[in-house]
Amino acid sequence: MIPVSLLVCVMAAWCVVYLADTLLRSSVTHRISYESWLASRGLMLSPFHLRWQTTMFNRLFAYCARINPQALYLWFNSGLMFGIAAMLGSVVLLIKTLQQTLAQMTTDNPRIGGQQTLQVVVPGVNLPTSQLGYFFIALLLSGVIHELGHAVAALREQVRVNGFGMFVFVVYPGAFVDLFTTHLNLISPTQQLRIFCAGVWHNFVLCVAALAVLFLLPLFLFPMYSTGGGAVVIDVIQGSAADGPRGLSVGDIVTGLEDCPVRGVEDWSSCLSHLSHTVQTGYCVPVASLQPSWAHGRAFKRLDGTMDCCSNNSLTDLCFSYVKPQGRSSREREYACMPVRKMVTGTPVCHTDADCAAHSHTPSVCVTPSLENQTRFIRVTHPPNTHMLFVGYPPHLQHAVSLTNFVPRFGFLHLDLPVFLETFCKYVVSLSGALAVVNSVPCFALDGQWMLNALLEATLVSVVTDRQKRELIGFFLLLAGSALLAANVALGLWMVTAR
């Protein structure tokens, strides 16, 4: 749910800005000077929309458009081919996403229909407020690179750029370029396509570049951070099962979960998933240490059918089950309530008594924690500290702890630097890729509208000679694309906010 305080602050800020703008425009004394001040700075203000435009970057765009003309020709021709392919691909992707959304809407099980390919992002609902900075900066960067592509392509095709600008709509930032329409209408449809496709092409390139940085980040940070030596704890949710004096702390390096080695975050997740779907691990305990524990309470059945023998709700004891040494032929099980840390610290894991015979020369049995269904007992190795002992549902441990693959080589290095770079790159990949897809859709008011119109003019002139018929075909295609995009957005918002 969207935080009420955030919503109130946004609405209050826009109300103050709009009220001040209205008062100054209606003032006889200040109206002329206020409007002159706005015009001199390229500012335009309307309800929930602030826009700024400037010509200060025009020389930079012109310089970029003159760099190696032959290379730029190949570059923007590649963008043209990518734009046409992306326009077709975006339609297929939206149809697939719509089918997935409808499949999820018709069932109570969210797993039916699979993971959605595209998803509507609503700050405060499915986007954590702690990551709004990443979201808005990545969105603005993606928008600037998109418009840079349009500007350079336009100047290369001899179309004048009137200016470049940025805007804020409610809370969403963006960018735009103002092209001289007369010049744009004079060039050929193929030249127009190069300009219109340049935006989504540059978004795709930015997406690939961010993805490359993400995969090569261990190499870039190698002099300062090492990887493969474990997963470093960067945050522990206060009050969770991983918190406490014998829990995990920021800076701890997790190297194992039971007998599953952890070399990084991916291993941490896969180990927890493995432990969730396998039988509980047992521990080799000498028979001599079990004998005094046989009389500790009587086992009783829980509601789910599992057995418990620690009725005092002790925080240090746990019920263990094992095959009774005197009755192994009948596989009769015995239950004992034992001090858990004392019994499992430093002991090898096992699944049968035969495993213990291979690890120990003294008579030992394999004891298994007797827990409720889906609950697991997990030893978390984080040297040089003693094991953290976790009893609960493994996904709860995964959600309680945030980790990173990067271990600082020096004490003065901050743990959050690699996390910041990783998270930012992931947002750039997602948002720049999403802008490339959405802007490719043949939809009114998006790049796809102009891409489709230019494509029809370039390909249908000899087939459909009547210009009005070509425009009619384009109109119905745009209408269908707009309906498809609107349906995805509407149903996506409903899925995010209503379920």
The residues assigned a catalytic role are 147
Token pair, residue 104, equals: 């999820």
- Comparing CA positions, the residue from 137, 187, 192, 190 lying closest to residue 166 is 137
Beta carbons of 470 and 457 less than 8 angstroms apart:
yes
Number of Cβ within a 10 Å radius of residue 5: 9
Distance between CA atoms of residues 200 and 390, nearest Å: 48
Token pair, residue 254, equals: 């997790």
Q: What does the angle CA 208 – CA 82 – CA 442 come to, to the nearest 5 degrees?
A: 110
Q: What three-state secondary structure class fits 377?
A: strand
DSSP β-ladder status, 388-392 and 161-169 = unpaired
DSSP character for 127? B
Beta carbons of 200 and 439 less than 8 angstroms apart:
yes
Number of Cβ within a 10 Å radius of residue 24: 16
- What are the beta bridge partners of residue 350? 282
Amino acid identity for residue 455 in this structure: L
Residue with tokens 């006889």: 28
Number of Cβ within a 10 Å radius of residue 335: 22
